[in-house]
Structure formats: C-alpha cells, structure tokens
A and B are shown apart, each in its own frame.
Chain A
Amino acid sequence: VMFYRLLSIVGRQRASPGWQNWSSARNSTSAAEARSMALPTQAQVVICGGGIMGTSVAYHLSKMGWKDIVLLEQGRLAAGSTRFCAGILSTARHLTIEQKMADYSNKLYHQLEQETGIQTGYTRTGSIFLAQTQDRLISLKRINSRLNVIGIPSEIISPKKVAELHHLLNVHDLVGAMHVPEDAVVSSADVALALASAASQNGVQIYDRTSVLHVMVKKGQVTGVETDKGQIECQYFVNCAGQWAYELGLSNEEPVSIPLHACEHFYLLTRPLETPLQSSTPTIVDADGRIYIRNWQGGILSGGFEKNPKPIFTEGKNQLEIQNLQEDWDHFEPLLSSLLRRMPELETLEIMKLVNCPETFTPDMRCIMGESPAVQGYFVLAGMNSAGLSFGGGAGKYLAEWMVHGYPSENVWELDLKRFGALQSSRTFLRHRVMEVMPLMYDLKVPRWDFQTGRQLRTSPLYDRLDAQGARWMEKHGFERPKYFVPPDKDLLALEQSKTFYKPDWFDIVESEVKCCKEAVCVIDMSSFTKFEITSTGDQALEVLQYLFSNDLDVPVGHIVHTGMLNEGGGYENDCSIARLNKRSFFMISPTDQQVHCWAWLKKHMPKDSNLLLEDVTWKYTALNLIGPRAVDVLSELSYAPMTPDHFPSLFCKEMSVGYANGIRVMSMTHTGEPGFMLYIPIEYALHVYNEVMSVGQKYGIRNAGYYALRSLRIEKFFAFWGQDINNLTTPLECGRESRVKLEKGMDFIGRDALLLQKQNGVYKRLTMFILDDHDTDLDLWPWWGEPIYRNGQYVGKTTSSAYSYSLERHVCLGFVHNFSEDTGEEQVVTADFINRGEYEIDIAGYRFQAKAKLYPVASLFTQKRRKDDMELSDLHGK
C-alpha cells in the first residue's frame, strides 16, 4: 500500500509497481541516507534488514548512545513486508508484552514526523473490534480489561454505537464491539524511512543493495559479516531479515535456527467512495468474518486471515515464487464475501488492486527476539505474525535495551528466541504449523488452546500405552504430555470440541484424577522435563553450581535442593530441582521449555574446563510421577525396600531397583506438595516399570492422571511455575522463596548482591495466592491468566495463572501485587501487612470477583505429616 506514498518521496516513477520489481529494483536510490560508497571494514553492530525492524533497532541503539552501527539492506530501504504492510497500528493484543510494545510504537510513531520531519501519514483513527458471538465478546472484554490497566483507553460498546462510529457497517449480526480510540494508521514504509533518517543523523551508517552472505563466528562469538560488497568486522549482528531470517540464520557455519515461515497475505484496495471516506474513519476488525477494513485514500483497504492459507518460500528465497506472487481472487473470495456482508454498500465500489504481500509467521504466533543460544552477539528480531508495524517500535526498543544493558526493561521470555530449539526448525514442521497459525490470528482464543499441527514429535516411550488408555494430549516444546485420561464410558468426540471460557467439560474427569492423587495413587508421565547432568573430576561441578545457584548445593549425597538460577538482578533465569548424585555429580531438573535457555545460560557461565562435563540427558530418562499416599506402598512392594519417611525422607534421591529394572532414580518429591515419588527411569526400562507399577498399584487404586490434575494440585498449594508465574524479573524474595536462597552459604553467587539489597529495602511486588470467593464455578467465567487484580478498588497487578482447587472447592489464582503510589503511580515497597490488609477483586472479562489474598498456602491441604518441604514453607512465612 504504502509504497505509493513512498514513491512520492523517492520521486521515482515506475511503469508497473508491484512485487515484480521488489527484489529486482536495485538501481533505484532510496532515502537520502542510503549510501553507495565502500563499506566500512569494521563496526560494533551490523544490522541486516532495512525494514521497520532493522531501522527501529538502529534508531533505538543510536538513541541509547551506541554509534558505531552499520545497517545493511539487500534491496532498498523499507521494502519487503514493510512496504506492503496494510499500515494498521493496533494495540489490542492478547499478551501484555505485545500490548506494551504496540503502545510504545503508537507513541513513537505519533511524534516521529515532528522529530524527523518525514511525513509518516500517522492518523489517529481508532479501531473497532466487532463481536458476532458472545464468546468473541468475552475475548474482547478480557483484552479490554487489560488494556485499561496499562493505560490504553478502550471500551466495550453496543452495536448501535458501532453504527454511529462507522456509517457503512452492517451491525445487525453483532452482539457488541470494543472501541480503541487511540489506535492509528500510518505508512509503515515512511515510518521505516523516518527511523532510518533519525538513526542516520545519530551516526548509523546505512547501505542498501548490500546482501549479507553469512555471519562469521569464532568460538561461539560473532566476529563479523561477509557481504557481497566485502567483509565487516563486528561484535554484534542483528538479524532483522524478515521472511529471509530463517535462511540467513542457517547460512552460518554455526547455524542459528529462527523458526519462521511466510504465508501469502492478500488485501484489497479500492478507488475512493463517491463521498470519499474521511481519513479519520476508524479501522474495523471483524475477526469472526476474518477481515480487517481501514480507510485508504478515500476508499477501502481490506484484507484478512483466511482459513486456508498459502504458505510460501518453504524452500527458501525463490525468484520464481516472488515473481509469481499474483492476485489470487479465487482465494480471496471468502474474504470478499465477508467484506460485502459487513459493508453491503461497497458493492458498487470500484476495485483498484488486490495486493499479495507475504507475511511471516512463527510456530506459536508470537514474534521472535533475543540472542541466539549458540552464537553470542547474534541477535534476532523477526517473525512478526503480520503485526510488524504495531510491534516495530517497541520490539526495536526492547532489543536495543537487551544489547546495551544485557536485559530488556520488560520480561520478554514469551518472545525470546530461546523458547525454541532446533526441533522447531524443520521446514515441514514450520510449513504445517504456520498454516494453522495464520487462521488462528482471527480465531477465538480460548483457554488451554493446543496446536493441532506439528504434533507427536517428541514422545515418551509410554505414549502409545497411555494413548490407548484414553490420554488426551497437549504439547510443550514439541513433547506430548497427557492432559487427562478420558474414561472409557465418556463420549470422546464431544470432549475434543470443548472451546469455552466457562467450566470445561473435562471438569469431572480431572476431579476424579485429583481425588485419586489425594486418596490413593496416580501415575503421571512427566518425561518432558529438561534434565541435565553436571559432573566433574574434582570439586569443579560443586563450585560452579554454587556460583550459579542461590541455594546451598553443598548438601549430603542423595539430597535434593530446590533452587533458582538467578541473574545479576536476582531474577529467576531458571527454577529447578538439583539432586546430588554423588560428590562430583549433580542431576538437574528444569521446566520443559528451559532446554535451550538453561543450556545456553550454563554454557555461557561455566568455565571452559575439560574436567567439567555438562550433559543434556533429557532423552535418556522417562519420568513417572507417583503421586498420592499409597505411592509409598506401590514402590516398597516393587523394590522390597523400606520407603517410610525414616528410610526415605522427603526431598531425597536414591538409585534403586523397581521390579526387574535396576538403577532407577527415585526421588521423594512430586512437584505438587503431595506425598509421592518421581521415578527417573532409563528409557529402555520405561515400559517395564510402568507395567509393574500399574499392576502392583491396582490394589491401591492406581490410575493414570494428567497435567491438568497436576496443575490443580500445584496451584492450590501455591507452587509457582517458572515461565508462567515467575520469570527473569522475579526474585526469590518476591515469590516467598527466601528459604531457597542461602545468602550466607559462604560464597558469592550470581544475583546475591541484588538480593541483599532487596532484603534490606523490601520488595516492590509480591506473588500472592488468591482464592475466589463469590465465584460460581458452574455459571461464571473462569479465570485464566492476565486478569487484573484490584486492591481496595485500585489496580495492583495481574494474575499469572489459575486453577480450580478441588479440595478448597474454589478457584485459586496466583498473581503479583504491586503497591502503586496513589499520587505518582510509582512503585512502593510491598509488605506482608500491605497484602493482608486489603480487599481484593479479580477482574474476569469485566466482571469483578471478590478474592482472599494468601501469602502462604492453606495449611489444611497438607494432610501428610510435616515434611521438609512444608517446614521450609511455613518457616519462611513465619518470618
């Protein structure tokens, strides 16, 4: 779209504007700042990609004081998706971090014209999100609640109001809508040019028609880039190559896998209406109709996310495919029908063009940013899932902060490149997955969504056995994990259809699993957990772990320690359990999606010592969690070993035999606070041990259980989970885990200083458990996560996770409580007193429910006699 505007700036007429010229238009000079001189031989940072991402990173880096920056663009500045982007800036996003990025972008673009003098066509139009169904309206209400608490004005409006705001709309089939008045439209190509121009004034050197061939790496560190115009030595490389980021990542000797894949994306341009649409006409998003509509030069620009996307460039950059990017009207037909249903008066409007503009999508619909786990100094910002313009400013800012400070100012784990591994890099996987992701853009996002494509990649050896027993599966980091087990008499088909914001249909199933965990014994296959082994010839392993972890790991052999791997700020990089197998070897269990991140962190901080061995043994062990009071009976019967707390105290690890299989690592913990054992079984014994456990367990009432039961058990006991509740901006003190920090363990560890300071000054947020009081489980909307928390009517934070507690017969939410100053909004110290003396409400889609705040779990839930774990908990809460 915007390239028409761009052309006027460039001042160059072309006979047939369109994709055909996109890659071949090498002879045109772009913005004034693009140079054609010889490349410098060295720079601190080389950015590849002159789209909105690359220019935004350059802009922010230069603003933050880094000057020695080179930006390379293979074609011309502001080409590619940036050029063809529909130019809609929308802050209504599902993730808070995305809302913040879009909000920042909005503010940045707003003042960009003033700052640079380059017209960006920024117009504040507002946008209206239509709901054709009640479920859609709930989804909008949830977003609305969250937008409001971060200061973005928005409101839920009636269909009548919609008609007033946009006179062309047919509103008869609507149940409501959300109006976000400060959303805008802007020319993304001009934004990129303005950012480039400002960056250039700050010293960034920009070269177009220069292709990066590959990045040079030495000893896991970026040393330079090889371009078609020569080499540039550099410390940092930023891959903002958009749809070519995947290929560029793989072109290295040490490949960087950046899982993204392009799909064709179509939108329609029309001639102006008879009475041309005003430039302030709001943008319409009709997600149920799969379309968006904005005003464009007095006419309409309308595109959408169809159900049957056309993936493209699977085999990489292909000139033939680029040239063949044509208007596909037949493909657009459903969207056109939808448009005419929404705006019947457009029938007589004349078509100008159908634009085919490929967009990049990622396996989980979130963008990709951050540093490569394999190559230090290799940063990535790509995979925008067609929201590049909305995210551009904010994402560029966070990445620049990341490079300059080592951390972005917000937690961006959800967007971190390291949430993916090489396993998401298969081209077939990406092709299939993005075909699911693209329609999902406008599908209803309901709780507990599972992707359907790219499944059954990593499975436990018990997969088939569990599947045959009715397991329903979810996937994490490519690994299949059971959600729950459908009893034989249940209607399977009906269950799979459940998409609801209310009580789900598996409620009773999970209840019976939870009950069994409480009263008898259950088996949960938890093989997906990331498992590392660290061994050394001498004391090196202990030393390095003592430095990397906050808890004291110099414990007797056989003990298990819950501990955090903290960063300099004291925040959790990883939350794990470490068993000391012997003097010189440790077994480390981390969350499933930590596989890449934790490995990278350890590798980065471990000394290069050949006597110190770090091994990823995730694939070597099948993990079975035996939860329940009778777990001890099952195990002792299978091992002929006494398993009583005297012989096998809590948080203890022993290698023993189970059935015929020897060398099974048995750990007395269950990740839920319930009594029981984790069994780490070498995979070849998995089936045997499982069979033995099931057959012996029969008389104790054993049954299979899934992660939903585990989750309910865990959350009701206030067990926070890394990646959901806590992240690298959460310190142990902020989530009540002082006991897991040994500040005086006799040596320094990463984050100690920050914790010391925090201990002195107090914390500014505190993870709190909320029990919903007046919530009707059967009739009310269920909490999910991200719901605003109100204390005495004031917003204090958001929930991070929630579950129904079958023991309390209440919903339990975990969430952070802040103490914002009433005058300045500044964050103040949160004390236990502050938390306890408040009346709380949780806002679920605009409905507020009363909640009781708890700083420690409900004691009655711990039925077993006191174990070490509980002691710790009560200890710390006593303080």
Chain B
Amino acid sequence: AVSRDHAIALQLLPPSPRIPVRSSSLPLFSDAMPAPTQLFFPLIRNCELSRIYGTACYCHHKHLCCSSPYVPQSRLRYTPHPAYATFCRPKENWWQYTQGRRYASTPQKFYLTPPQVNSILKANEYSFKVPEFDGKNVSSILGFDSNQLPANAPIEDRRSAATCLQTRGMLLGVFDGHAGCACSQAVSERLFYYIAVSLLPHETLLEIENAVESGRALLPILQWHKHPNDYFSKEASKLYFNSLRTYWQELIDLNTGESTDIDVKEALINAFKRLDNDISLEAQVGDPNSFLNYLVLRVAFSGATACVAHVDGVDLHVANTGDSRAMLGVQEEDGSWSAVTLSNDHNAQNERELERLKLEHPKSEAKSVVKQDRLLGLLMPFRAFGDVKFKWSIDLQKRVIESGPDQLNDNEYTKFIPPNYHTPPYLTAEPEVTYHRLRPQDKFLVLATDGLWETMHRQDVVRIVGEYLTGMHHQQPIAVGGYKVTLGQMHGLLTERRTKMSSVFEDQNAATHLIRHAVGNNEFGTVDHERLSKMLSLPEELARMYRDDITIIVVQFNSHVVGAYQNQE
C-alpha cells in the first residue's frame, strides 16, 4: 500500500522542485506563505511537466534513485526505493501525509517575524575564538563560526571541530549524510580521532597504549569545540574506542623504529580509509548488544561524505571525500575577493572521477557504472563513507542481512541490490588531499556541504563572507594616528561605517550570515525577509524539496601570524 500511494504521489509532483524556487518569479511564493495547502497548488499545476518527465520521483530526502528512467538535472543523491522510507524513517511518508491534508487545512497567512527568523537561523550557530595568551593569539587561526540549517528532519549533516592536543593544529570538518544520519554521525564522532592518532608520533602512541593497558588516565587527544546540539553517541563509545585502539596498536606494531616525520597527507588518507574499513568490519562482525548491532548496520548501510581541513601554522591540508567543498577566501590587493577551491567534488561533474571509475571496472561496465550522472544510476557522490551496498559483494550483503536483526531483514531497501552490480567495490572513502600554504591574503576558509554550494556560487559565498568579516573589522576602532583628517572627513567615514554596520549587525556569526543569504537571497542578491520567512516556515516534510541541509564552517585566519611565518623564511 505504501508503495502504491507513493507512486501516485510521485506522478503528481513536479519534475524539479528547484524550478519554482530558482526562478525569480517564484510562482510558489506569490503571496504570503500560507500553510502547506497553497504550496501544493502550483505543484499540481506543474503536473503537466511531471508527465513529460514520466514517473520521476522527487524526494530530495535521499541520494538514492532507482525507478526513474532519467532524472533531470536534479541534485538528488539517492532516489528512494519505495521501501526505503521504512528503513530510515519509518514514520515519514510525507507525501501521503501532505496529500491527506491537501484540501483539509484552511489557508492561513503567516509570516515569521524577524526575531523568529533569527531564532531559527541562530539555533545551531557556534563560534569559537582561539584563546589569547597574554593578549596575543599566536595561532594562525583567529577562530571559526559554524552553523547548520536542517532541511531533513532530523538533519543528516554533521560538523566537527577540534584542536589536536598531542600534536599541533586544528581539525574542522563537515559531513553530509545520505540514507539517514547514522553514518555522518559516526564519522563526525570518530574521524578526527583516527586522524589525530595517525598524526601521533610513535612514543605518544606507546604512552597512550601503556596508559590504557594499566588503566591509567589517558592523555586527551582532542579538545572538541561543540555546539550543545552536536552530540556523541554514548552507547557506541566503547565499541568505537576498541576499534580505534586496534588501529593504534597496529600503528605501533607497524613502526619500524625509525622515527620519520609524519606526513599529514598520508595520515589523512590512512585515517579516512581505516575508519571506513572499521565501519564495514563492525557491520560484518556485528555486536552482541542488539541496539549496537542495529546501529553498526545502520551506519554501514547509510553513507556520508566528508570534507576535513587540518590547519597547522601556515600548512593547510584539505581532505575531501564526496561533494562537500572547501573554499579559500582570498583578498586581492584592491580589496576585492576571490575564491580558491581547495577540494574537488567527487561526482559526475568531475571528469577525473569518471575516468577513475571507468578504469577501476571492466570495459563492459563503462556504460553502467555511471548512469544519469550517478554511480550505478543511484548515488550522486562518487566517494563516501559507509554505503556498503556499493562496496560489499552481493554474497556478503545477503549474508549480513540475513543474519541481521529483523528490522534490517524486513527492509526492502537493504535487500535491494544496485543494478549492474558486477565488480564491487564501486565506492571508496579514500580522500583526495590538497595542500595549501597559507599566505597573508588568505583570510578565511569556508567548509560547507553541497546544500550551500548548490544555492550559491562560490564567488558569491566568498564575497559575502569577506564583506561580512571586513564589516566586523570595521567595528574595530579606527585611530587617527598621525594622519591628517578633518572633522568633515571623519564624519563622512563614520556615517558610512554606521550604515554598513547596521546591515551586518543582525548576525554575529559568519556562517549564519551566509545561511541567511543562501536561503533568503532574492534575484538581486540581497536578503529578502519575506522570502527568508517563507523558506523557514516550510513544514518539515516540505523543506527538503526546496533546499538541502546546509552546514557551514567559516575559519578565519590570523593574517599577522601567517605574515610572520612568511617573514621568518
């Protein structure tokens, strides 16, 4: 019954929910955003279109696509298998739900007030300022702002930030989950530990191992910078710890005694691969605790991309797996802003990735390995954590599912084997690592999931953050110094600064500011409150049609320190 309702609903849906949103005329939002009902009228009007495209299914929820013969430029990750919904979020049959309500609810105009909008936008914002010692900040990082705006319920994006305590440097990352949030959650908790351990020198590893062995207190490895909403799973911590310990024990054993400098790039790659391997192993081995057993399976069967930056002095490494992006904001000498991409998207738009996939599989699969810009016609990112459906052999998948808990066994999605599945693995978590040596003109780094990049051009992103940060900079006191300034000139300057300041005033967080623009920008590139209000008042079940989860971290660099590094040499 579920699938039939689904099919009907899908036929009614427009080919691309993006179209009304992207077009400047905004037919969807012609008036005040009046409850879900009105929202649907234009959808129905667009039925024509949907027939043209056939039974396209639109559920931005997931990255998986199965039944649709072709998927127009949609940014969907999965197209859901009819049974899929029951796997991840059994309760959520939103199409059913909304259809049932379609004519029932009375149209009712409502806007969110600016404070309401702010409270939604700011709910997840987090800022960290690198503490100063003796009035000085010697770190190359001034601090970071992060924020996320959910479209899925619950949000599938995750973010992490931590300072390495046993080595230098800071780790920041965004993780975009698909087919649920289990994998992105696990990666957000675990990946930095794997990276930190990979970076640790042999002696420290020994020290830590000895401490664990003798039950002594452990040296803390990471200092987390977490928003209260960023949680860690308590239940799995023991399991995760054991896997991590096995990893460092192996690192200790592998050490040949010669203390070589640890290569960050190598450490990042090893950590990514090792974690993905552990996720896969844990799912295969299972756990006697039924809750944990189900958890490790959910982690393995869902997926997550990761984009992680490691900043140590002027050395910036970005490790990326999937289609999140790291963008450097560079201020040119004339004060203008330019964007330097520090990561490559691993998707169909990347020729080299297409090339790689084709090389990794027999010629016979050349046509089927990427279809409709998706891996095996299903998955948008070409690299990801988890997603064992694209990694394990069919035998292994069947075996695990059969021995797995009933919930798994009853689930249509997990049983579903991707078409043309001949030579697994099709998917890897191995990151591409980019190195960049920071220069004084590199002012900030934006790490964000594709939810941001698909709504805003990278150049706009960098410009908005740049102007925001300099706006903040304007609030720094100005001094007359030895210059010749008249009262009139000063007055003009101050008036200008005040006007500028009032526009930035609303946000104390660069990431929030960026989200405000991403969601609320009108065709003129300025934030339109009405639009922002409508977008944010979309009911949970509809939000995903108009935007993806957005997670942003903006890291601000300390130009003085970076400059000093440069001068040292």
Chain A residues near B (Cβ < 8 Å): 268, 270, 320, 326-330, 332-333, 336-337, 339-340, 346-354
Contact B486 A348 (CB under 8 A): yes
For the complex formed, measure the closest distance between the CB of A436 and the CB atoms of chain B, giving whole angstroms.
23
CA distance A629 to B221 in the complex (A): 82
Interface stretch of the complex, out of B108-116, B294-302, B474-482: B474-482
Of A270, A328, A353, the contact of B487 (CB 8 Å cutoff)? A270
Residues of A within 8 A of B491 (CB): 333, 336-337, 340, 347
CA distance A39 to B439 in the complex (A): 58
For the complex formed, measure the closest distance between the CB of A324 and the CB atoms of chain B, giving whole angstroms.
9
Contact A329 B487 (CB under 8 A): no
CA distance A525 to B486 in the complex (A): 59
Residues of B within 8 A of A348 (CB): 486-488
CA distance A330 to B498 in the complex (A): 7
For the complex formed, measure the closest distance between the CB of A85 and the CB atoms of chain B, giving whole angstroms.
21
CB-CB contacts below 8 Å: B445-500 with A: 475, 477-480, 484-488, 490-491, 493-495, 497-498
B135 at interface (Cβ–Cβ under 8 A)? yes
Contact B486 A329 (CB under 8 A): no
CA distance A776 to B498 in the complex (A): 48
15 A-B pairs (CB sep. < 8 Å): A328-B477, A329-B490, A333-B495, A336-B490, A336-B491, A337-B491, A337-B495, A340-B487, A347-B488, A348-B487, A349-B487, A350-B485, A351-B490, A352-B480, A354-B480
For the complex formed, measure the closest distance between the CB of B93 and the CB atoms of chain A, giving whole angstroms.
51
Residues of B within 8 A of A332 (CB): 494
Residues of B within 8 A of A353 (CB): 480
Given contacts A333-B495, A347-B488, 10 further A-B contacts (CB under 8 A): A320-B135, A330-B477, A330-B478, A340-B491, A347-B487, A348-B486, A349-B486, A350-B484, A350-B487, A351-B485
CA distance A329 to B497 in the complex (A): 10
**Known contacts A333-B494, A336-B491, A337-B491; is A327 also within 8 Å of B477 by CB?**
yes
CA distance A347 to B494 in the complex (A): 14
Residues of B within 8 A of A330 (CB): 475, 477-478, 494, 497-498, 501
CA distance A327 to B480 in the complex (A): 9
Which chain B residue shows the least CB distance to A344?
A: B488
Residues of A within 8 A of B486 (CB): 347-351
Residues of B within 8 A of A333 (CB): 491, 494-495, 498
Which chain A residue shows the least CB distance to B498?
A: A333
Contact digits for B495-521, partner A, Cβ 8 Å, 1 yes 0 no: 101100100000000000000000000
For the complex formed, measure the closest distance between the CB of B495 and the CB atoms of chain A, giving whole angstroms.
7
For the complex formed, measure the closest distance between the CB of B147 and the CB atoms of chain A, giving whole angstroms.
26
Which chain A residue shows the least CB distance to B495?
A: A333
Residues of B within 8 A of A347 (CB): 486-488, 491
For the complex formed, measure the closest distance between the CB of B493 and the CB atoms of chain A, giving whole angstroms.
8
Q: Determine the main DSSP class of B at the interface with A.
A: helix
Contact A329 B477 (CB under 8 A): yes
CA distance A353 to B483 in the complex (A): 11
CA distance A580 to B235 in the complex (A): 74
For the complex formed, measure the closest distance between the CB of A533 and the CB atoms of chain B, giving whole angstroms.
52
Contact B477 A336 (CB under 8 A): no
Contact digits for B153-164, partner A, Cβ 8 Å, 1 yes 0 no: 000000000000
CA distance A87 to B497 in the complex (A): 31
Residues of B within 8 A of A329 (CB): 477-478, 490, 493-494
Which chain B residue shows the least CB distance to A336?
A: B491
CA distance A875 to B480 in the complex (A): 74
Residues of B within 8 A of A350 (CB): 484-487
Residues of B within 8 A of A326 (CB): 477, 479
Contact A327 B494 (CB under 8 A): no
Residues of A within 8 A of B498 (CB): 330, 333
For the complex formed, measure the closest distance between the CB of A354 and the CB atoms of chain B, giving whole angstroms.
7
CA distance A23 to B501 in the complex (A): 34
For the complex formed, measure the closest distance between the CB of B206 and the CB atoms of chain A, giving whole angstroms.
42
- Specify which of A270, A330, A352 lies most central, judged by the most chain B CB atoms within 10 Å of its CB: A330
Contact A351 B480 (CB under 8 A): yes
Residues of A within 8 A of B478 (CB): 329-330
Residues of B within 8 A of A268 (CB): 487
CA distance A328 to B486 in the complex (A): 16
**Known contacts A329-B494, A330-B497, A333-B495; is A351 also within 8 Å of B477 by CB?**
no
CA distance A34 to B479 in the complex (A): 35
For the complex formed, measure the closest distance between the CB of B480 and the CB atoms of chain A, giving whole angstroms.
5
CA distance A330 to B485 in the complex (A): 15
Residues of A within 8 A of B477 (CB): 326-330
CA distance A346 to B497 in the complex (A): 21
Which chain B residue shows the least CB distance to A270?
A: B487
For the complex formed, measure the closest distance between the CB of A357 and the CB atoms of chain B, giving whole angstroms.
16
CA distance A333 to B501 in the complex (A): 13
- Specify which of B135, B491, B493 lies most central, judged by the most chain A CB atoms within 10 Å of its CB: B491
For the complex formed, measure the closest distance between the CB of A280 and the CB atoms of chain B, giving whole angstroms.
23
CA distance A336 to B494 in the complex (A): 9
For the complex formed, measure the closest distance between the CB of A95 and the CB atoms of chain B, giving whole angstroms.
35
CA distance A326 to B501 in the complex (A): 20
**Known contacts A333-B495, A336-B494; is A346 also within 8 Å of B479 by CB?**
no
The list of the 6 closest CB pairs from A to B, nearest first, reads A347-B488, A333-B494, A351-B485, A326-B477, A346-B487, A349-B487
For the complex formed, measure the closest distance between the CB of A284 and the CB atoms of chain B, giving whole angstroms.
15
Which chain A residue shows the least CB distance to B490?
A: A351
Of B480, B485, B488, the contact of A340 (CB 8 Å cutoff)? B488
For the complex formed, measure the closest distance between the CB of B297 and the CB atoms of chain A, giving whole angstroms.
55
CA distance A337 to B495 in the complex (A): 9
- Specify which of B479, B493, B497 lies most central, judged by the most chain A CB atoms within 10 Å of its CB: B479
Residues of A within 8 A of B135 (CB): 320
Which chain A residue shows the least CB distance to B501?
A: A330
For the complex formed, measure the closest distance between the CB of A767 and the CB atoms of chain B, giving whole angstroms.
53
CA distance A268 to B497 in the complex (A): 19
Residues of B within 8 A of A336 (CB): 487, 490-491, 494
Residues of B within 8 A of A320 (CB): 135
For the complex formed, measure the closest distance between the CB of B319 and the CB atoms of chain A, giving whole angstroms.
39
Contact B494 A351 (CB under 8 A): no
CA distance A332 to B475 in the complex (A): 13
For the complex formed, measure the closest distance between the CB of B505 and the CB atoms of chain A, giving whole angstroms.
12
CA distance A332 to B478 in the complex (A): 11
Which chain B residue shows the least CB distance to A348?
A: B486
For the complex formed, measure the closest distance between the CB of A779 and the CB atoms of chain B, giving whole angstroms.
43
CA distance A36 to B477 in the complex (A): 39
For the complex formed, measure the closest distance between the CB of B215 and the CB atoms of chain A, giving whole angstroms.
43
